[in-house]
Amino acid sequence: MVQFRFLGILMAVAIRTKKPLDLHLAPWVWKQLCSMPLGGRDLEEVDLLTYRTLQGILHLENSGITEDNFHVMIPLDSFMAHSADGRLVPVVPGGQNISLTFTNRTEYVDRALDYRLHEMDSQVAAVREGMSTIIPVPLLSLLTALQLEQLVCGLPEVSVEMLKKLVRYRDITESHQLIGWFWQSLEEFTNEERVLFLRFVSGRSRLPSNPADITQKFQIIKVDRVRSSQ
């Protein structure tokens, strides 16, 4: 929990200093940080197999599964489910002693879904606690999940158009043929290669979502080399 709290501090620092972090978190984590409700589609994005299994148990229409053959066709016999780390856990207190039946399958699916969506609530709370030491966390509820992610992580794509807004020319003009070749070469780069270029010229791996937040620009300088005669 100390590490999750520290992660929250780092995320808040990224927002304050406008220096994005290269983080890859599940979409629902950003929603939870913004106090947004979660639903089945959020689980589907990160664990498609579990989501489809639960939907299969819930919707038995035209499947040929009836109350008589339910236990033969469904390989579960109690209110247990696999957690995010693969452990088989009860989805309600004492769930290992509650039989899963054709009749109570809807309750089981609701409980299993609720467990999976909220099994990391304490970790998210620790992240929010860390963020609260630097920024007013209640204001996060005014943001969407995508807006918060962009504030913390910036833009995952480094476009040439964005790079053109961050450059300053010295002893050369934007219309010079060399500059045209330079931007043409960057256009042919993959995004990963442009990220490496950005890291080389600025020390960053991500750009803020708002170019105005970047105060330091990189320079393109024309250097005339004169070949000395022997």
**Dist. CA 111–CA 79, nearest whole Å:** 8
Q: Are 62 and 47 in contact (CB under 8 A)?
A: no
Same domain? 64 vs 124: yes
Q: What is the pLDDT of residue 230?
A: 43
Q: pLDDT (tens digit, 0 to 9) for every residue of the chain, 230 residues total?
A: 999 999 999 999 999 988 888 888 988 999 999 999 999 999 999 899 889 989 988 888 777 788 888 888 888 889 999 898 888 899 999 999 999 988 899 999 999 999 999 999 999 999 999 999 999 998 898 999 999 999 999 888 888 988 888 888 888 888 888 899 999 999 999 989 998 998 898 887 888 877 777 777 888 888 776 554 44
Report the alpha-carbon distance of residue 55 to residue 49 in Å, rounded. 10
104 shares its domain with 125: yes
User: What is the structure's pLDDT at 204?
Assistant: 78
Place of tokens 């807004």: 165
Structure tokens at 110: 């609701």
Query: Can you point out the beta strands (E) in 84-217?
Result: 88-90, 167-170
Could you tell me which of 111, 164, 128 has the C-alpha nearest to residue 36?
Answer: 128
Q: Assess contact for 145 and 34: CB atoms under 8 A.
A: yes
Q: How many domains does the chain have?
A: 2
Q: Which two tokens stand for residue 176?
A: 């010079």
- 226 belongs to a structural domain: no
**What is the domain range of residue 11?**
1-154
Q: Of 109, 131, 154, which residue constitutes the final position of a domain?
A: 154
pLDDT of residue 229: 44
Enumerate the β-bridge partners of residue 80: 90
Task: Check residue 225 and give its pLDDT.
Answer: 67
Residues 114 and 61 in one domain: yes
Q: Three-class SS of residue 23?
A: coil
Q: Note the pTM of the prediction, 2 decimals.
A: 0.72
Concatenate the DSSP letters of all residues of 55-119 into one string. HHHH--TTS---TTTHHHHSS--BSEEE-TTS-EEESSTTGGGSBP-SSSHHHHHHHHHHHHHHT
In the three-class reduction of DSSP (H, G, I as helix; E, B as strand; rest coil), residue 161 is classed as: helix
Residues 141 and 188 in one domain: no
**Structural domain includes residue 172:** yes
Residue 227 belongs to a domain: no
Is residue 173 a part of any domain in this protein? Answer: yes
Per-residue pLDDT, 185: 93
Q: How many CB atoms are closer than 10 A to CB 90?
A: 16
Report pLDDT for 111: 94
Long-range contacts of 135-142 (CB under 8 A, 24+ apart): 135/12, 135/15, 135/16, 140/33, 140/34, 140/35, 141/34, 141/35
Domain end among 154, 176, 207 = 154
Q: Output Rg (C-alpha) for the chain, integer angstroms.
A: 26
